[in-house]
Amino acid sequence: MRNFEFYNPVKIVFGEGSIAKLKSLVPRDKKVMLTYGGGSIKKNGVYDQVKDALSGYRIIEFGGIEANPEYETLRKAAEICRKEKVGFLLAVGGGSVLDGTKFIAAIANYAGEAWDFLDGKARPSVAIPLGSVMTLPATGSEMNANAVVSRREMKEKRPFNSPLVLPQFAILDPETTKTLPESQRINGVIDTYVHIMEQYLTTDGGAWVSDNLSEGLLRVLVEHGKAYVEKPDDMTVAGNIMWASTMALNGIIRLGADSDWSTHAIGHILTAFYGLDHAITLAIVLPGVMQVMRTNKKSKLLQYAKVVWGITDGPEEERIDKVIHKTEEFFRMLGAKTKLSEFGITEDTPTLVADKMQSIGLLPCGEHRDMDYDIVKEILSLRK
Ligand code: NZQ
Ligand code: ZN
């Protein structure tokens, strides 16, 4: 078990009707920028609930933050924050709106080039405080310090993190998920599942508490993921999926253990190249990582097979084959496609992605930094 320190100050306000509590969470003396995406919040009544809760506040709005938030859009918002002296940001929407808002918060008062934060040249020293109303359980962004920003003209998608952009609070009202399209429900379950897997499926390091938390969360997704996709009105299911997605990436389940973020690193490049939804890239890549890294991850693969999928019979290598298959089958049963060719992608993706990862310093990756250029190519070659 590794040494660790843990601090997470995000206040979670969970439950139906909790948007009304915004008035006790958002500072009244600050000018607030309400950020949102392409308009889902205006169609499903969330916008009205937010405006009602904040009546009497000084609010300006910035809408149009894209799925996979675009660098240039966020720079425009930051410019407005500067001019308008915005003192608090309220992100209302999915992970893209919240990630975008975190980036706005960090760059608004930065004199240098905003890209510095994405290529690691600089780290923010100040940020505008922010909070969120999360309407799409998936990313865990509501309780972490991460943001991922895209720059389409350069085919770039890069992560950034700073404790300064941890939300002060996150409202999780399962009712807001009722209007999610089926594709986003599928995405939410898969993104959550893979976040857990990347913190769990590493070296067996004796972090039993984290392992058990991960296995419990995975079982919730296996048992209730399909119901979440098929029954949007079941608030018990939605509430549990929502909380699972927060728990999957708020830092708790990785404590004392190693993490392997290679699936996400490869997936982000696939989104940058082909515009695939984030979670879909993970459904494509993870089975390949499990297959190619099966020797290094053997002990955890066997544990995962046993505890999450009840696979206990047969020789070890057979059990591993079975559980890799089960995992991909689970993604497909939810409704996801898991092969590049199913998206009409037939070019030499393995080489293109490995080249890109090499050029921006993402290699080697994996929990032991032993996944190199050739391994990334091998993984994607299996996923054509
Ligand atoms: O833009 P609007 O109109 O709001 O519509 C959105 C968008 O089209 C819609 N939506 C959201 N809530 C809805 C809704 N539609 C109906 N009813 C609702 N209640 O869903 C679409 C997708 O939204 P988006 O925010 O893009 O999805 P998601 O939450 O999956 O976020 C994806 C982004 O988060 C990053 C991804 O890379 C990607 O850029 N990630 C962020 C992480 C983090 N901060 O820790 C970790 C993740 O691994 C991930 O990388
Ligand atoms: Zn993710």
Domain count, the chain: 2
Residue 226: give its domain's CATH number.
1.20.1090.10
CA of 350 to the centre of ligand 2 (A): 20
Among 26-30, 65-69, 203-207, which is the least confidently predicted range?
203-207
Q: Which atom of ligand 1 is nearest to the CA of 96?
A: 25
Of 184, 233, 242, 264, the one to substitute when testing ligand 1's pocket (max ligand atoms within 8 A of C-beta) is 184
Say if residue 367 is in the same domain as residue 261.
yes
CA of 277 to the centre of ligand 1 (A): 9
Residues with CB under 5 A from ligand 2 (ion): 191
Reported as a single tens digit per residue, the pLDDT across 135-155 is 999 999 999 999 999 999 999
Domain presence at residue 4: no
Residue range(s) defining the domain that contains residue 106:
11-176
Contact criterion met (CB below 8 Å) for 37 and 63? yes
- The residue nearest atom 46 of ligand 1, judged by CA position, is 139
pLDDT at 110: 96
CA of 194, nearest ligand number = 2
Domain presence at residue 57: yes
Mean pLDDT of the 210-224 span: 98
Mean pLDDT of the 291-313 span: 98
β strands within 44-136, DSSP E: 59-62, 88-93, 130-134
* pLDDT tier for residue 205 given thresholds of 50, 70 and 90: confident
Mean pLDDT of the 365-372 span: 96
Say if residue 117 is in the same domain as residue 28.
yes
pLDDT at 53: 98
- The residue nearest atom 38 of ligand 1, judged by CA position, is 68
Mean pLDDT of the 13-35 span: 98
Looking at every residue in the chain, the average pLDDT score rounds to 97
Q: Which atom of ligand 1 is nearest to the CA of 144?
A: 45
Q: Which atom of ligand 1 is nearest to the CA of 65?
A: 1
Among residues 122, 142, 176, which one ends one of the domains? 176
* pLDDT tier for residue 361 given thresholds of 50, 70 and 90: very high
Global confidence as pTM: 0.97
Residue 334 confidence (pLDDT) above 90: yes
Among residues 161, 176, 191, which one ends one of the domains? 176
CA of 49 to the centre of ligand 1 (A): 20
Among residues 130, 159, 176, which one ends one of the domains? 176
Domain presence at residue 53: yes
Say if residue 242 is in the same domain as residue 324.
yes
Q: Which residues contact 163 (CB under 8 A, 6 or more apart)?
A: 7, 145
Vertex 118 angle, CA 116 and 123, to 5°: 60
Q: Which atom of ligand 1 is nearest to the CA of 176?
A: 19
Say if residue 20 is in the same domain as residue 120.
yes
Residue 5 confidence (pLDDT) above 90: yes
Residue 99 confidence (pLDDT) above 90: yes
Residue 203 confidence (pLDDT) above 90: no
CA of 97 to the centre of ligand 1 (A): 7
Residue 204 confidence (pLDDT) above 90: no
pLDDT at 330: 98
Q: Which of 112, 110, 210, 105 is nearest to 161 (CA)?
A: 105
CA of 67 to the centre of ligand 1 (A): 6
Reported as a single tens digit per residue, the pLDDT across 173-196 is 999 999 999 999 999 999 999 999
Contact criterion met (CB below 8 Å) for 16 and 173? yes
Contact criterion met (CB below 8 Å) for 146 and 198? no
Say if residue 41 is in the same domain as residue 112.
yes
Contact criterion met (CB below 8 Å) for 375 and 291? no
Say if residue 154 is in the same domain as residue 102.
yes
pLDDT at 184: 98
Q: Which atom of ligand 1 is nearest to the CA of 264?
A: 48
